[in-house]
Structure 1
Amino acid sequence: MAEIAVSSTVQERIALLSLAWGISEGEAVERLLNEFQKSGQRRLAPNADKRIPVHAVYEGSRTEGLFDPGSEVLEITSGALAGKRFRSPSGAAAAVVGTANPRVRPNRNGWAFWVCTDTGSILQMIRRER
Protein backbone atom coordinates (compact mmCIF):
# COMPACT_ATOMS: atom_id res chain seq x y z
CA MET A 1 0.00 0.00 0.00
CA ALA A 2 1.33 3.41 -0.95
CA GLU A 3 1.49 6.17 1.64
CA ILE A 4 1.56 9.94 1.38
CA ALA A 5 2.71 12.48 3.94
CA VAL A 6 0.26 15.21 4.96
CA SER A 7 0.38 17.94 7.57
CA SER A 8 -1.34 17.38 10.89
CA THR A 9 -3.97 19.95 9.90
CA VAL A 10 -4.80 18.06 6.72
CA GLN A 11 -4.87 14.76 8.65
CA GLU A 12 -7.35 16.27 11.14
CA ARG A 13 -9.57 17.50 8.31
CA ILE A 14 -9.54 14.09 6.62
CA ALA A 15 -10.39 12.44 9.94
CA LEU A 16 -13.27 14.88 10.43
CA LEU A 17 -14.67 14.13 6.96
CA SER A 18 -14.38 10.39 7.46
CA LEU A 19 -16.24 10.69 10.76
CA ALA A 20 -18.96 12.89 9.25
CA TRP A 21 -19.42 10.57 6.27
CA GLY A 22 -19.12 7.36 8.30
CA ILE A 23 -16.31 5.98 6.12
CA SER A 24 -12.58 5.31 6.46
CA GLU A 25 -10.04 8.09 5.98
CA GLY A 26 -8.86 6.47 2.75
CA GLU A 27 -12.43 6.37 1.45
CA ALA A 28 -12.85 10.04 2.37
CA VAL A 29 -9.79 10.98 0.31
CA GLU A 30 -11.07 8.84 -2.56
CA ARG A 31 -14.48 10.55 -2.41
CA LEU A 32 -12.84 13.98 -2.50
CA LEU A 33 -10.69 13.02 -5.48
CA ASN A 34 -13.67 11.54 -7.32
CA GLU A 35 -15.66 14.72 -6.71
CA PHE A 36 -12.78 16.85 -7.95
CA GLN A 37 -12.60 14.76 -11.11
CA LYS A 38 -16.38 14.97 -11.64
CA SER A 39 -16.36 18.74 -11.15
CA GLY A 40 -13.97 19.13 -14.06
CA GLN A 41 -16.24 16.99 -16.20
CA ARG A 42 -19.32 19.00 -15.19
CA ARG A 43 -17.68 22.25 -16.27
CA LEU A 44 -17.26 20.79 -19.74
CA ALA A 45 -20.75 19.25 -19.89
CA PRO A 46 -23.25 20.94 -22.23
CA ASN A 47 -26.08 20.81 -19.63
CA ALA A 48 -24.07 22.12 -16.67
CA ASP A 49 -26.98 24.32 -15.54
CA LYS A 50 -29.26 21.45 -14.50
CA ARG A 51 -30.66 21.53 -11.00
CA ILE A 52 -28.70 19.57 -8.43
CA PRO A 53 -30.40 17.36 -5.84
CA VAL A 54 -29.48 18.52 -2.33
CA HIS A 55 -30.55 17.68 1.20
CA ALA A 56 -30.07 18.85 4.75
CA VAL A 57 -30.52 17.10 8.07
CA TYR A 58 -31.63 19.32 10.93
CA GLU A 59 -32.74 18.01 14.32
CA GLY A 60 -32.90 14.49 12.90
CA SER A 61 -35.19 15.41 10.01
CA ARG A 62 -34.04 15.24 6.39
CA THR A 63 -35.24 17.87 3.92
CA GLU A 64 -34.74 17.41 0.17
CA GLY A 65 -34.31 20.15 -2.40
CA LEU A 66 -33.11 21.10 -5.87
CA PHE A 67 -30.43 23.75 -6.39
CA ASP A 68 -30.09 25.71 -9.64
CA PRO A 69 -26.44 26.75 -9.98
CA GLY A 70 -27.29 29.37 -12.62
CA SER A 71 -29.78 31.35 -10.53
CA GLU A 72 -28.73 30.03 -7.09
CA VAL A 73 -32.43 29.35 -6.40
CA LEU A 74 -33.08 26.43 -4.08
CA GLU A 75 -36.46 24.74 -4.18
CA ILE A 76 -37.44 22.54 -1.26
CA THR A 77 -39.08 19.32 -2.44
CA SER A 78 -39.98 17.52 0.79
CA GLY A 79 -41.42 18.21 4.21
CA ALA A 80 -43.46 21.16 5.43
CA LEU A 81 -41.79 23.57 3.01
CA ALA A 82 -42.17 21.42 -0.13
CA GLY A 83 -42.72 23.57 -3.21
CA LYS A 84 -41.21 26.72 -1.70
CA ARG A 85 -38.44 28.42 -3.67
CA PHE A 86 -35.71 30.57 -2.13
CA ARG A 87 -33.38 33.05 -3.80
CA SER A 88 -30.39 31.59 -1.95
CA PRO A 89 -29.33 28.42 -0.14
CA SER A 90 -29.07 30.48 3.07
CA GLY A 91 -32.68 31.63 2.78
CA ALA A 92 -33.79 28.04 2.34
CA ALA A 93 -31.65 26.93 5.29
CA ALA A 94 -33.14 29.62 7.53
CA ALA A 95 -36.64 28.51 6.55
CA VAL A 96 -35.87 24.87 7.40
CA VAL A 97 -34.38 25.81 10.78
CA GLY A 98 -37.14 28.31 11.59
CA THR A 99 -39.86 25.79 10.73
CA ALA A 100 -38.27 22.97 12.73
CA ASN A 101 -37.35 25.07 15.75
CA PRO A 102 -38.95 28.53 15.95
CA ARG A 103 -37.22 29.21 19.29
CA VAL A 104 -33.74 29.56 17.74
CA ARG A 105 -32.23 32.17 15.47
CA PRO A 106 -32.65 30.55 12.05
CA ASN A 107 -29.76 32.25 10.27
CA ARG A 108 -27.48 29.65 8.68
CA ASN A 109 -24.82 29.58 5.99
CA GLY A 110 -26.78 27.69 3.34
CA TRP A 111 -23.63 26.86 1.40
CA ALA A 112 -22.50 24.72 4.36
CA PHE A 113 -26.01 23.63 5.47
CA TRP A 114 -27.02 21.89 2.23
CA VAL A 115 -25.31 18.71 0.98
CA CYS A 116 -25.17 17.58 -2.65
CA THR A 117 -27.07 14.30 -2.51
CA ASP A 118 -25.12 12.61 -5.32
CA THR A 119 -21.65 13.34 -3.94
CA GLY A 120 -22.03 13.94 -0.21
CA SER A 121 -20.12 17.22 -0.48
CA ILE A 122 -21.44 20.48 0.90
CA LEU A 123 -22.99 22.90 -1.57
CA GLN A 124 -20.01 25.21 -1.06
CA MET A 125 -18.04 22.87 -3.37
CA ILE A 126 -20.38 23.81 -6.27
CA ARG A 127 -19.87 27.50 -5.54
CA ARG A 128 -16.08 27.15 -5.70
CA GLU A 129 -16.29 25.62 -9.17
CA ARG A 130 -17.75 28.74 -10.70
Structure 2
Amino acid sequence: MKGHARNLMTAPVKSVSPETPLSEIALLFAEAHIGGVPVTSSEGRVLGMISQDDIMSALLAGRSLHTRADEVMTSPVHTVDEFDLTDEVMQLFRKHRIHHLPVVREQRLLGIITPADVIRFLAQDIDEPPRVG
Protein backbone atom coordinates (compact mmCIF):
# COMPACT_ATOMS: atom_id res chain seq x y z
CA MET A 1 0.00 0.00 0.00
CA LYS A 2 1.35 3.41 -0.94
CA GLY A 3 1.45 6.33 1.41
CA HIS A 4 3.14 7.75 4.44
CA ALA A 5 2.12 8.19 8.06
CA ARG A 6 1.25 11.81 7.35
CA ASN A 7 -1.44 10.60 4.91
CA LEU A 8 -3.10 8.58 7.68
CA MET A 9 -2.83 10.89 10.67
CA THR A 10 -5.34 13.13 12.32
CA ALA A 11 -3.98 16.63 12.91
CA PRO A 12 -4.00 18.77 14.87
CA VAL A 13 -3.97 16.34 17.75
CA LYS A 14 -5.01 16.93 21.33
CA SER A 15 -2.36 16.29 23.96
CA VAL A 16 -1.87 16.80 27.68
CA SER A 17 1.03 17.82 29.87
CA PRO A 18 2.62 15.47 32.41
CA GLU A 19 0.95 17.47 35.21
CA THR A 20 -2.61 17.15 33.85
CA PRO A 21 -4.88 15.39 36.38
CA LEU A 22 -6.86 12.33 35.36
CA SER A 23 -10.11 14.24 35.95
CA GLU A 24 -9.25 16.71 33.15
CA ILE A 25 -8.13 13.93 30.85
CA ALA A 26 -11.36 11.99 31.42
CA LEU A 27 -13.39 15.10 30.54
CA LEU A 28 -11.28 15.64 27.41
CA PHE A 29 -11.93 12.05 26.32
CA ALA A 30 -15.67 12.48 26.81
CA GLU A 31 -15.91 15.87 25.10
CA ALA A 32 -13.66 15.03 22.13
CA HIS A 33 -14.94 11.43 21.76
CA ILE A 34 -11.41 10.02 21.90
CA GLY A 35 -9.84 7.16 23.82
CA GLY A 36 -6.27 8.31 24.29
CA VAL A 37 -3.88 11.24 24.05
CA PRO A 38 -0.14 11.78 23.93
CA VAL A 39 1.52 13.26 26.99
CA THR A 40 3.93 15.93 25.75
CA SER A 41 6.63 18.18 27.11
CA SER A 42 6.35 21.96 26.77
CA GLU A 43 8.48 21.61 23.60
CA GLY A 44 6.00 19.15 22.08
CA ARG A 45 8.09 16.01 22.55
CA VAL A 46 6.08 12.85 23.16
CA LEU A 47 6.77 11.57 26.67
CA GLY A 48 4.06 8.92 26.82
CA MET A 49 0.47 8.00 26.06
CA ILE A 50 -2.54 7.88 28.34
CA SER A 51 -5.66 5.96 27.42
CA GLN A 52 -9.06 5.14 28.85
CA ASP A 53 -7.61 1.82 29.99
CA ASP A 54 -4.83 3.61 31.88
CA ILE A 55 -7.37 5.76 33.70
CA MET A 56 -9.60 2.81 34.54
CA SER A 57 -6.62 0.78 35.79
CA ALA A 58 -5.52 3.70 37.97
CA LEU A 59 -8.98 4.10 39.47
CA LEU A 60 -9.33 0.36 40.08
CA ALA A 61 -5.97 0.47 41.87
CA GLY A 62 -7.38 3.11 44.21
CA ARG A 63 -5.74 6.14 42.63
CA SER A 64 -7.45 9.52 42.83
CA LEU A 65 -8.77 11.54 39.90
CA HIS A 66 -6.19 14.12 41.00
CA THR A 67 -3.40 11.74 39.94
CA ARG A 68 -1.11 13.28 37.33
CA ALA A 69 -0.79 11.93 33.79
CA ASP A 70 2.91 11.16 34.20
CA GLU A 71 2.12 8.83 37.10
CA VAL A 72 0.01 6.45 35.01
CA MET A 73 0.97 7.07 31.37
CA THR A 74 2.51 4.38 29.20
CA SER A 75 6.14 5.21 28.52
CA PRO A 76 8.20 4.85 26.45
CA VAL A 77 5.73 5.10 23.60
CA HIS A 78 6.00 3.91 20.02
CA THR A 79 6.00 6.78 17.52
CA VAL A 80 6.38 7.04 13.76
CA ASP A 81 8.01 9.68 11.63
CA GLU A 82 5.68 11.50 9.26
CA PHE A 83 7.46 9.85 6.30
CA ASP A 84 7.31 6.26 7.58
CA LEU A 85 5.48 4.05 5.11
CA THR A 86 1.87 3.03 5.64
CA ASP A 87 2.81 -0.66 5.75
CA GLU A 88 5.26 0.07 8.59
CA VAL A 89 2.50 1.86 10.51
CA MET A 90 0.13 -1.10 10.15
CA GLN A 91 2.85 -3.52 11.26
CA LEU A 92 3.46 -1.47 14.43
CA PHE A 93 -0.24 -1.61 15.34
CA ARG A 94 -0.29 -5.38 14.92
CA LYS A 95 3.09 -6.16 16.50
CA HIS A 96 2.61 -4.06 19.63
CA ARG A 97 -1.21 -4.29 19.92
CA ILE A 98 -1.56 -0.55 20.34
CA HIS A 99 -4.45 1.73 19.44
CA HIS A 100 -2.78 5.15 19.26
CA LEU A 101 0.37 5.96 17.33
CA PRO A 102 1.79 9.48 17.59
CA VAL A 103 3.32 10.92 14.43
CA VAL A 104 6.39 13.08 14.93
CA ARG A 105 8.56 15.48 12.97
CA GLU A 106 12.01 15.99 14.45
CA GLN A 107 10.74 14.30 17.65
CA ARG A 108 7.86 16.76 18.07
CA LEU A 109 4.20 15.75 17.97
CA LEU A 110 2.59 16.35 14.60
CA GLY A 111 -0.48 14.10 14.58
CA ILE A 112 -1.88 10.75 15.68
CA ILE A 113 -2.97 7.58 13.92
CA THR A 114 -5.56 5.08 15.15
CA PRO A 115 -6.67 1.86 13.47
CA ALA A 116 -9.80 3.74 12.34
CA ASP A 117 -7.57 6.21 10.47
CA VAL A 118 -5.86 3.33 8.64
CA ILE A 119 -9.20 1.78 7.68
CA ARG A 120 -10.51 5.15 6.50
CA PHE A 121 -7.39 5.63 4.34
CA LEU A 122 -7.75 2.15 2.84
CA ALA A 123 -11.43 2.71 2.05
CA GLN A 124 -10.66 6.00 0.27
CA ASP A 125 -7.86 4.36 -1.72
CA ILE A 126 -10.14 1.85 -3.41
CA ASP A 127 -10.24 2.51 -7.16
CA GLU A 128 -12.58 -0.31 -8.16
CA PRO A 129 -16.30 0.34 -8.44
CA PRO A 130 -18.41 -1.82 -6.10
CA ARG A 131 -19.71 -5.11 -7.47
CA VAL A 132 -23.42 -5.38 -8.04
CA GLY A 133 -25.26 -8.72 -7.76
State TM-score, norm by structure 1: 0.25
The structure, 1 or 2, with the larger RCO (C-alpha pairs under 8 Å, 6+ apart) is: 2
Greater helix share, structure number: 1
